[in-house]
A and B are shown apart, each in its own frame.
Chain A
Amino acid sequence: EDKVVQSPLSLVVHEGDTVTLNCSYEVTNFRSLLWYKQEKKAPTFLFMLTSSGIEKKSGRLSSILDKKELSSILNITATQTGDSAIYLCAVAGTYKYIFGTGTRLKVLA
Chain B
Amino acid sequence: GAVVSQHPSRVICKSGTSVKIECRSLDFQATTMFWYRQFPKQSLMLMATSNEGSKATYEQGVEKDKFLINHASLTLSTLTVTSAHPEDSSFYICSARTTGTRETQYFGPGTRLLVL
Residues of A within 8 A of B (CB): 31-32, 34, 36, 41-45, 48, 88, 90, 92, 95-97, 99-102, 104
Contact = CB atoms under 8 A, between A and B. Distances in A.
Contact of B1 (A45, A90, A100, A101): A45
B49 interface: yes
B65 interface: no
A97 B34 contact: yes
Contacts of A42: 6, 93, 107-110
B106 A102 contact: no
A97 B105 contact: yes
A14 to B, nearest CB: 23
B81 to A, nearest CB: 18
A45 B43 contact: no
Interface residues of chain A: helix, strand, loop or mixed (majority): strand
Interface of B: 1, 6, 34, 41-44, 46, 49, 57, 93, 95, 102-110
A102 B110 CA distance: 18
Given A32-B104, A42-B93, A42-B109, A96 B43 contact: no
Given A48-B102, A88-B43, A102-B43, A95 B49 contact: yes
Contacts of A44: 107
Contacts of B44: 43, 88, 99
28 contacts: A32-B103, A34-B105, A41-B109, A41-B110, A42-B6, A42-B107, A42-B109, A43-B44, A43-B93, A43-B107, A45-B106, A45-B107, A48-B102, A48-B104, A88-B43, A88-B44, A92-B103, A95-B49, A95-B57, A96-B34, A96-B46, A96-B49, A97-B34, A97-B46, A97-B105, A99-B43, A99-B44, A104-B41
